[in-house]
């Protein structure tokens, strides 16, 4: 069988031939890639310890495995099917075992440890020294210093957690795929034209015997909750949305959560930590759970006060409208939209025709051009894995710096949410390697594709991540792009969101999809005036999830956790209003349980927001100030993981960040 993974990729940019790669290619490719990597690691471990032999030997190893894994992980999340899901379940524990064997290789670690001990005498430059320090820390954190049975147990735990994480994400996707709510014309009361068009397109795409339909994609659910007059339908959809992973079916995640927490706690104790949160945050900007909680606590009190005032205002509106019921979670967005319209004469339906998808993509590109001198040329000759995917060549000063893949629409075979990934990372170790960066969003597919303002913010957010990969200028793969601490990685993305609100960006690209007329200044002023409306709700729903995540992973008796009881106790302890649900309840909290990327780390969005809110102050006098843009590029976007993160921020901003900018940005100033 011809297998694209065993060929040289000689097309434009050496991009993977995604149009020819099939599920049956992956297992043979993985088999060969794992065997190759094992042989490469054995050769590295057998050579005398030197930076070139050992550290750079590790950097040069596993090329085929990297190619296979990058393509597979992208397809498994963006365009999956039963065959890919079966491979995912089979390979998750095998890949975990493979990497565990590498990190527990005693001969290899002995060489790394010897180099680490004499690191100051090796004559290394700052980036090479950083690489050596990161490799040593990687090995230590993965158990290289453990002895006896603890090493084998850590390996077992890793394999089991890999399987559980895969099952968790597949279960959430399964519940999302199983649900579609067909709607008749009589059930569409209150929904504006853009929402009706999107629901009609969804019904057609899903083959529903109804003129309209909504799914459990956030971009489908939230407009319905915001505008639908039928309260019973809002409740039905809300309950289905919040029950993902918690239904009495084969997709229930509660047992997975309990086992995951128990295993993570055992993992941490084996490595000498009291809890998994202690372990995870030891390699972060926060450093400790106490530091992360201190930030959450500082924001919680003003956010809750604001949310309680918002709740009272919405309850009064319910009574004024003659509603003989208490405000419930499925009512919040509906009445908040009514109140926003009243207070600011602002109607989301009037705004949305000005936020057409292609215009917002161009707005993101324009911002990158103004800040960093980038240009974007659409390419039709780059293979893609789905017809929805668009590809652009990214260049600066006439030279290409990478490819950008945009996959913007929701579909049943795609995980929910929005994320950045890569098909190849930037490096220059053995010659210039250009990055291939992917953005995924889950906007409702319609013609035209009209975004809410929050959707447009999401697009800018993910493109900020993409720029972190595209603008990387480091030597070593281990330090490339987004290979940074979890509470630093959201800085480039959240900071980029600010430029969407800049009047010159909006006036240039927020144009009516039919007439081409720019967003009226009066509507723009209303949009900006209303940006902090409902911020109590938004902050509380986020913080509720962040506190629960931290409580889950801070327990020193993780084996005894009842996840549902602990979640309820966490919410009660901080006094979450019952009308405001967690943004991500545990059974569908994929950030935390589909892998460990954000476990004990959901707080990091807020930590990074302190940085981005403070950091945008560098552009206060001029949103495209060239000197500030250069500092931002050199110290944040281009630096990857090549330097200490706190120092990188100081080099950009000239000082440490201050939380005051975050509180002011969310309209949560304390007196």
Q: Would you name the residues annotated as active-site residues? A: 462
* Region of 465 on the Ramachandran plot (φ > 0 left; ψ -120 to 50 alpha; else beta): alpha
**55 three-state secondary structure:** helix
* CA dihedral for 562, 568, 570, 572, sign (positive or negative): negative
Give strand pairing partners of 212. 183
* CA–CA dist 58, 503 (Å, integer): 48
What long-range pairs does 291-295 form, CB within 8 A, spacing at least 24?
292/487, 292/550, 292/603, 292/607, 293/550, 293/603, 295/603, 295/606, 295/607, 295/610, 295/659
Cβ-based neighbours of 495, under 8 Å, separated by 6 or more? 464, 611, 612, 615, 616, 632, 636
Rounded CA-CA distance 68/25 in Å is 9
Question: What are 434's two structure tokens?
Answer: 């250009």
Angle between helices 149-178 and 254-270 (to 10 degrees): 160
Cross-strand bridge partners of residue 395? 375, 400
Tokens matching residue 234:
């809002």
| DSSP state at residue 295 | H
Q: Are 136 and 649 in contact (CB under 8 A)?
A: no
């Amino acid at each position: 069988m011809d297998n694209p993974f065993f060929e040289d990729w000689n097309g434009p940019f050496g991009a993977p031939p995604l149009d020819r790669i099939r599920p049956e290619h992956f297992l043979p490719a993985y088999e060969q890639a794992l065997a190759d990597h094992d042989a490469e690691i054995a050769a590295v471990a057998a050579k005398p310890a030197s930076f070139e032999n050992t550290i750079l030997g590790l950097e040069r190893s596993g090329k085929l495995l990297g190619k296979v894994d990058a393509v597979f992980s992208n397809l498994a999340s963006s365009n999956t099917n039963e065959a890919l899901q079966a491979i995912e379940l089979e390979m998750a524990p095998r890949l975990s075992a493979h990497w565990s064997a590498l990190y527990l290789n005693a001969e290899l670690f002995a060489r790394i440890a010897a180099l680490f001990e004499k690191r100051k005498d090796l004559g290394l430059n700052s980036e090479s020294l950083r690489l050596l320090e990161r490799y040593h820390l990687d090995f230590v954190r993965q158990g290289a210093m453990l002895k006896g049975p603890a090493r084998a147990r850590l390996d077992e735990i890793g394999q089991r957690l890999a399987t559980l994480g895969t099952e968790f994400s597949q279960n959430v996707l399964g519940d999302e795929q199983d649900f579609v709510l067909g709607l008749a014309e009589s059930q569409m009361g209150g929904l504006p034209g853009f929402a009706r068009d999107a629901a009609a397109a969804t019904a057609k795409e899903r083959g529903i015997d109804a003129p309209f339909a909504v799914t459990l994609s956030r971009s489908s659910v939230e407009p319905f909750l915001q505008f639908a007059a039928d309260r019973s339908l809002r409740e039905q959809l809300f309950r289905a949305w919040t029950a993902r992973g918690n239904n009495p079916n084969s997709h229930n995640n509660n047992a997975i959560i309990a086992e995951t927490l128990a295993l993570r706690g055992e993992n941490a104790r084996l490595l000498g930590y009291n809890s998994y949160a202690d372990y995870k945050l030891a390699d972060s900007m926060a450093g400790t759970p106490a530091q992360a909680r201190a930030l959450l606590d500082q924001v919680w009190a003003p956010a809750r006060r604001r949310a309680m005032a918002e709740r009272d205002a919405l309850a009064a509106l319910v009574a004024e409208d003659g509603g003989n019921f208490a405000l419930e979670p499925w009512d919040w967005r509906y009445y908040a939209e009514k109140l926003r319209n009243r207070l600011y004469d602002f109607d989301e339906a009037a705004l949305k025709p000005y936020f057409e998808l292609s215009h917002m993509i161009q707005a993101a590109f324009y911002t990158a051009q103004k800040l960093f001198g980038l240009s974007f040329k659409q390419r039709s000759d780059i293979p893609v894995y789905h017809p929805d995917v668009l590809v652009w060549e990214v260049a600066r000063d006439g030279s290409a710096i990478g490819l950008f893949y945009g996959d913007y629409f929701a579909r049943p075979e795609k995980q929910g949410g929005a994320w950045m990934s890569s098909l190849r990372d930037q490096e220059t170790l053995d010659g210039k390697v250009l990055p291939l960066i992917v953005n995924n969003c889950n906007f409702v597919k319609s013609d035209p594709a009209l975004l809410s303002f929050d959707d447009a913010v999401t697009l800018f957010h993910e493109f900020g991540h993409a720029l972190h990969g595209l603008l990387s200028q480091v030597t070593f793969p281990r330090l490339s792009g987004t290979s940074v601490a979890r509470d630093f990685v959201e800085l480039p993305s959240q900071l980029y969101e600010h430029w969407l609100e800049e009047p010159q960006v909006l006036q240039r690209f927020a144009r009516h999809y039919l007439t081409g007329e720019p967003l009226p200044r009066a509507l723009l002023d209303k949009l900006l005036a209303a940006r902090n409306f409902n911020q109590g709700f938004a902050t509380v729903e986020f913080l509720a999830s962040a506190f629960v995540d931290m409580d889950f992973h801070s327990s020193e008796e993780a084996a005894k956790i009842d996840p549902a009881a602990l979640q309820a106790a966490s919410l009660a302890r901080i006094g979450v209003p019952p009308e405001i649900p967690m943004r991500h309840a545990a059974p569908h909290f994929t950030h935390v349980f589909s892998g460990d990327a954000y476990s004990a780390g959901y707080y990091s969005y807020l930590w990074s927001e302190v940085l981005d809110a403070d950091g945008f102050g560098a552009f206060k006098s001029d949103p495209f100030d060239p000197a500030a843009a250069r500092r931002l590029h050199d110290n944040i976007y281009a630096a990857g993981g090549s330097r200490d993160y706190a120092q990188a921020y100081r080099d950009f901003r000239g000082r440490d960040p201050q939380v005051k900018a975050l509180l002011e940005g969310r309209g949560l100033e304390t007196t």
